[in-house]
Amino acid sequence: MRKKIAAGNWKMNKTFGEAVELAKGIVEQNIPSDVTVVLGVPSLYLNKINGIAEANDNVFVSAQNAHQELSGAYTGETSVVMLQSIGIPYVILGHSERREYNCETPELLKHKVRTALDNGMEVIFCCGESLDIRKADNQEEYVRNQIKGSLEGLSKEDMKKVVIAYEPIWAIGTGETASPQQAQDMHRSIREYLADMFDAEVAENTAILYGGSVKPSNAEEIFGQIDVDGGLVGGASMKVDSFTEIINSFS
Ligand code: PEP
């Protein structure tokens, strides 16, 4: 059985007090026992929010990025060793905003994924196409190449610690969502590709999340698609009420 995951990405939002209040509001919820909730928290607040998350067995904390090296002269960066030392289990890698604003290439992400896995972290690996690529109907090949570029060479054991988040860039923060069928088609394509790259077992067991303007009004239909195992949610994860509704949208 694949995990059902509702992951939030708070990006560069919230003051410390607001972040604490949001996390407390989420851990107080009665989360279905088969749903894993992951909070993608700004690095400055990770330690505090991780302490709050301990109050609910279904809630875990994720960094939004980590450096590819373990330590060294990289001013302003955070390493997976640091994340591990405060007990953070997850890291989001390859979000489209980091690919765009921080020039993160598939090769760099491959290095980051390897370092994170080697140091005991679980990785939420993001991929997804721009509107131009979707208009040219080239999205499946593009996303497969992103996956190949960063996940090729991982072992089947490594893949047990990898979650894939398909996030079409044209749907992130725009209010425009991929239709449930568009999400299903891409998730199926990714799963078929995992079967080619690894094997049927990896394809069957890897959780694939959809991200891009998921909200309470569309979560149930999107999560109801056979190859969609949950969501990576930006805007709607930053309010207790809307994220709670999303967490309860799995059938
Ligand atoms: C995201 O940040 O990964 C995201 C999907 O954002 P939003 O839900 O706001 O589109």
Q: What is the DSSP string of 25-77?
A: HHHTS---TTEEEEEE--GGGHHHHHHHHTTSTTEEEEES---SSSSSS-TT-
> Would you state the pLDDT for residue 45?
98
Say if residue 19's pLDDT is above 90: yes
Looking at ligand 1, which residue's alpha carbon is closest to its atom 1?
234
The whole-number average pLDDT for the span 53-77 is: 98
Neighbours of 34 (CB within 10 A): 10
95 belongs to the catalytic site: yes
CA–CA dist 24, 13 (Å, integer): 16
Which atom of ligand 1 lies at the shortest distance from residue 213's CA? 10
167 belongs to the catalytic site: yes
As a whole number, the mean pLDDT across the chain is: 97
Say if residue 175's pLDDT is above 90: no
Give 176's pLDDT tier (boundaries 50, 70, 90).
confident
Instruction: Using the Cα atoms of residue 80, residue 82, residue 84 and residue 86 in order, give the sign of their dihedral.
Output: negative
50-56: long-range pairs with CB below 8 Å, 24+: 50/86, 50/87, 50/88, 52/20, 52/23, 52/24, 52/27, 53/23, 53/27, 55/27, 56/26, 56/27, 56/28, 56/29, 56/31
> Would you state the pLDDT for residue 58?
98
The whole-number average pLDDT for the span 25-41 is: 98
Where are the chain's structural domains?
A: 4-247
Pick the CATH number of 4-247 from 2.60.40.10, 3.20.20.100, 3.60.70.12, 3.20.20.70: 3.20.20.70
Written as one string, the DSSP assignment of 203-231 is HHH--EEEESS--HHHHHHHHTSTT--EE
Which one has a higher pLDDT value, 251 or 179?
179
Confirm or reject: Cβ of 214 under 6 Å from ligand 1: yes
The pLDDT tens digits for 116-174 are 999 999 999 999 999 999 999 999 999 999 999 999 999 999 999 999 999 999 999 88
How far does residue 73's CA lie from ligand 1's centre (Å)?
Answer: 32
Say if residue 56's pLDDT is above 90: yes
> Would you state the pLDDT for residue 194?
98
Whole-structure pTM over 0.85, yes or no? yes
Closest CA to 10 of 239, 208, 164: 239
> Would you state the pLDDT for residue 173?
87
> Would you state the pLDDT for residue 4?
98
